[in-house]
Structure 1
Amino acid sequence: MKILLWVLLVACACPVAAADLAIVDARIYPAPDADPVERGTVLVRDGRIAAVGASDEVEVPDGIEVIDGNGKIITAGFWNSHVHFLAPVTREAATRPAREMDAALQDMLTRWGFTTVFDVSSFNGNAAALRRRIEAGEITGPHILHVDTPFFPEGGTPVYIRGLLEELDVPSAEVGSPDEARGRAARQLAVGADGVKLFAGAVVGGEIGVLPMDVGIARAVVEEAHRAGKPAFAHPTNMEGLEVSIASGVDVLTHSTPSSGPWDAALVRRLRAAEIALIPTLTLFEVELRREKAPEELVERFIGHAIQQVRAYTQAGGTVLFGTDVDYIPHVDTRREIELLALAGLDWRQVLATLTTAPADRFGHGGRKGRIAAGMEADLVMLGTDPALDVTGLADVRATIRGGQVIYRAVD
């Protein structure tokens, strides 16, 4: 398993000021595959889970914050495995006032239960700057992992972000040789990147349409990431991009490829054999096509292909990770992504796994995140609706807790 090759991505994922609290009398789902604890208590000491069990069996010490969980659901903190920090506020993470950053992060992330996110490409060190401010306690937000600057094929800067890169005055992210790619990957990883991201298929438009990355260059980026014990993401776009992704040994696809049509059984077997995880980002396709005023027939066909691909991969036992592409698209509400995953055949436990255990395990944090158990970091979500009754209850977030600190609380 690739996960055995990976190391912890950062020294500490806890907020600076960990807290003590207890959530009492809630229905607790310790993990997607575990039986619920009815009328249970989660006790948190110094930012970690000290005990979890029936409320009449867990003693709550005097003097700590007690949250009434009656009628509520508790799960482990959610992961969003595909985000960006590209909007006018978040792209200036190093300098924007804390109150503006707090509001932006709440709107796009903590409001939806995300306690850990993976930024799969921002620019000019923006994600690293934001992480520093959060970990210093200056800004309230999730734990951030990031890939730093992505890798584009030579001549393959995607057409849809050229204007943004000019506005940000970003140096070219294109790489023209394996040595150049390997060198930049090594430098980015050495200064704190938690993985790499390559555009296996870059949308350049015109007669070319989608430009695939040279396999040798892609392999050089991936090998450098694996040498550092860190994951490699790929943006595939189409079938050629999928072939580059498989051949280069990437670990995670940041999208499915609805433009390529349905995935057949042979392709699914190859992706499974390569142990590649999939982030579907189904809402992205719907949002983008409707923004472009595409005919509804085209939207439905495109989304139908994306759903088929997720269904086929899930049924084959492939790993699926939740991701929204938020801050590339402005859509923040997670309900639609959850609905589309359900249409792809995932039951509520499988959707919960995409948000908790699957990313925690895939990214090397399974020993301390993704489940509710004694000794784990106290990253928790309180829901107002039981997802076992309605899967979109996973979007009905009443509180988000990171390391024992409440970083979002709904106003009733």
Structure 2
Amino acid sequence: MRKTVPTLCAVASALLLSIAMPAMAQDLAIVGARVFPAPDAAPIDDATVLIRDGRITAVGPRKRVDVPRGTQVVDGRGTSVTAGFWNSHVHLIAPPFHQPGDQPAAVLSDALRERFTQWGFTTLFDIASLPGDVRALRGRIERGDVVGPQLLTVDMPFYPEHGTPIYVRELWEKTKAPSAEIASAEQGRSRAASQIQAGADGVKLFTGAIVGGPRGVLPMSADIARAIVEEAHAHGKPAFAHPTDQAGLDVAIDSGVDVLAHTAPDAGEWSPAFVARLKADDMALVPTLTLFDSELRRENVPEEVLQRFVGAATQQVRAMAQGGGQILFGTDAGYIEVYDTHLEYRLMSAAGMDWRQILTSLTTAPAQRFGQGAQRGRIAQGYAGDLVLLRGDPRKSNEAFADVRMTVRDGRVIHDADAATTSSKDK
């Protein structure tokens, strides 16, 4: 069943791309840069990338690519250029993203740039937010009213009955959002179908919900989880799971989810056999290592506890990478107020991931996983003009991925650090 997801997603994505691109398209040339066409390809020095009508029309050594008159030219000398980055775990839930139809366009554009596009993200996958918010924001971006990245969303999450996580109860009460708890397989199936038909791009299950108190973590019923996942797959959509502990991992695996939204430090070390099981089930992992570090520091836990917990998460990522499992970059930004990506790259490096593996997690892996592998994730003729210009060389340091000079989506510059610096100085 899962193998049908990319095929069906690809059709929908192609339609979305054809609708969205005219509003975003520009003719643009990046000239003189070091270009990394894909994680598995050799870099091209002193290269040009040419974008016309939002799509890449040429990439190669500068002397072999003619730039038509009238094209906007960006001097790429000294920069490294990669395909646009994907953040496969965010939450567009904090102001101003709640009820975005009521927010000024400039406020939304600035928030997206400051929190996401300045870090190179041309696609965000929101994996749990308040009902309808991200779909509304996406509509404003695709109409050209708001400047921002491509948005995918699961819309409202699925919690176990009596399992609304302790850390979102206040938000749910404050916004008067409908309950996200699911009491039966039929209810789960019905809501999954309803959300997908309304425009959701997947589903998110809390197979292990942190409820606090004596119970601590409440697992979702395996039958309910399986019903939700089956409904998502019937519509060609992926399913994410928030596992928390070993019981949550077991439910996620048994129900056939596609992506683990977090590592699960409470579950202990992952063995090669366990990773092989995940790989055999074609299950991807989003590390979100910054989440564990930042949350534990916020709670002022002893340093040895922090290191042990983050170390367990890091070991799981290392085991997944060494075992050849698919890893998708994601930060949980929006739930945590940490948008700077330097720490995530440092922690992924500590897990033994090299620059090619990290670039894969940012580009080709999510594009393939979410059905856009034929149009995003690489710098190649015919692909969408999504690019990131880095000031440094990621082969020398993985943290170079966080030093973004410019972000381009469909040929349109959606973040320019040099322009932002000039503007701030003028003020």
Asked if residue 400 in structure 1 is aligned to residue 407 in structure 2, the reply is yes
Q: In the alignment, is the contact (CA less than 8 A) between 2:2 and 2:233 conserved in 1?
A: no
Amino acid at match of 1:5: V
Asked if residue 174 in structure 1 is aligned to residue 181 in structure 2, the reply is yes
Cα distance, 1:272 vs structure 2:
1.4
Runs of 4 or more off by more than 4 Å in structure 1?
none
Could you tell me which runs of 5 or more consecutive residues in structure 2 were left unpaired when the two chains were aligned.
422-427
Q: Paired residue for 2:326? A: 319
Amino acid at match of 1:398: R
Cα distance, 1:260 vs structure 2:
1.6
2:165 to 121, 145, 158: 158
- Secondary structure at the aligned position of 1:121 is classed as coil
Q: Which protein is richer in helix relative to its size?
A: 2
Q: Deviations over 1:136-159 (max 9, x none)?
A: 111110000000111000010000
* Counterparts of residues 16-35 of structure 1 (less than 5 Å): 16-35=23-42
- Secondary structure at the aligned position of 2:24 is classed as coil
Q: Distance in 2 between matches of 1:193 and 1:79?
A: 18
Q: Paired residue for 2:425? A: none
CA-atom RMSD in angstroms:
1.1
Q: Distance in 2 between matches of 1:391 and 1:204?
A: 36
Cα distance, 1:263 vs structure 2:
1.3
* Counterparts of residues 107-186 of structure 1 (less than 5 Å): 107-186=114-193
Cα distance, 1:209 vs structure 2:
0.6
Identity %, equivalent residues: 55
Cα distance, 1:92 vs structure 2:
3.0
Q: Distance in 1 between matches of 2:319 and 2:96?
A: 38
* Counterparts of residues 3-14 of structure 1 (less than 5 Å): 3-6=3-6, 7=8, 8=10, 9-10=12-13, 11-13=15-17, 14=20
Q: Paired residue for 1:42? A: 49
- Per the normalisation by structure 2, the TM-score is 0.95
Q: Distance in 2 between matches of 1:5 and 1:127?
A: 22
Q: Paired residue for 2:355? A: 348
Cα distance, 1:252 vs structure 2:
0.2
Q: Distance in 2 between matches of 1:71 and 1:385?
A: 8
Q: Distance in 2 between matches of 1:353 and 1:2?
A: 21
Q: Paired residue for 2:253? A: 246
Q: Distance in 2 between matches of 1:84 and 1:288?
A: 16
Q: Deviations over 1:41-65 (max 9, x none)?
A: 0011100000000000001000110
Amino acid at match of 2:123: T
Q: Deviations over 1:93-122 (max 9, x none)?
A: 221111111111111110000001100010
Q: In the alignment, is the contact (CA less than 8 A) between 2:238 and 2:257 conserved in 1?
A: yes
- Secondary structure at the aligned position of 2:102 is classed as coil
Cα distance, 1:4 vs structure 2:
4.5
Q: In the alignment, is the contact (CA less than 8 A) between 2:4 and 2:236 conserved in 1?
A: no
Q: In the alignment, is the contact (CA less than 8 A) between 1:152 and 1:173 conserved in 2?
A: yes
Cα distance, 1:265 vs structure 2:
2.6
* Counterparts of residues 83-122 of structure 1 (less than 5 Å): 83-122=90-129
Q: Paired residue for 1:59? A: 66
Asked if residue 188 in structure 1 is aligned to residue 202 in structure 2, the reply is no
Q: In the alignment, is the contact (CA less than 8 A) between 2:51 and 2:385 conserved in 1?
A: yes
- Secondary structure at the aligned position of 2:372 is classed as coil
Q: In the alignment, is the contact (CA less than 8 A) between 1:156 and 1:202 conserved in 2?
A: yes
Q: Deviations over 1:348-383 (max 9, x none)?
A: 111011000000011110000000000000000000
Q: Deviations over 1:294-319 (max 9, x none)?
A: 11111000000000000001111000
1:227 to 234, 238, 255: 234
Q: Paired residue for 2:424? A: none
Q: Deviations over 1:124-179 (max 9, x none)?
A: 21110110010011111000000011100001000010001111111111011100
Amino acid at match of 1:12: L
- Per the normalisation by structure 1, the TM-score is 0.98
Q: Distance in 2 between matches of 1:41 and 1:4?
A: 36
Q: Distance in 1 between matches of 2:76 and 2:58?
A: 16
Q: Distance in 2 between matches of 1:92 and 1:326?
A: 19
- Secondary structure at the aligned position of 2:204 is classed as strand
Q: In the alignment, is the contact (CA less than 8 A) between 1:113 and 1:381 conserved in 2?
A: yes
Amino acid at match of 1:97: P
Q: Paired residue for 1:202? A: 209
Q: Distance in 1 between matches of 2:341 and 2:194?
A: 35
Q: Paired residue for 2:275? A: 268
Q: In the alignment, is the contact (CA less than 8 A) between 2:210 and 2:244 conserved in 1?
A: yes
Amino acid at match of 1:376: Y
Q: Distance in 2 between matches of 1:347 and 1:4?
A: 31
Asked if residue 257 in structure 1 is aligned to residue 264 in structure 2, the reply is yes
- Secondary structure at the aligned position of 2:379 is classed as coil
Asked if residue 328 in structure 1 is aligned to residue 335 in structure 2, the reply is yes
Q: In the alignment, is the contact (CA less than 8 A) between 1:148 and 1:196 conserved in 2?
A: yes
Q: Distance in 1 between matches of 2:201 and 2:28?
A: 31
Q: Paired residue for 1:212? A: 219
Cα distance, 1:17 vs structure 2:
3.0
Q: Paired residue for 1:308? A: 315
More deviation, 223-232/14-23: 14-23
Q: In the alignment, is the contact (CA less than 8 A) between 1:200 and 1:212 conserved in 2?
A: yes
- Secondary structure at the aligned position of 2:167 is classed as helix
Q: Distance in 2 between matches of 1:257 and 1:188?
A: 27
Q: In the alignment, is the contact (CA less than 8 A) between 1:113 and 1:399 conserved in 2?
A: yes
Amino acid at match of 1:361: Q
Cα distance, 1:3 vs structure 2:
4.5
Q: Deviations over 1:321-350 (max 9, x none)?
A: 000111110001001001100100000111
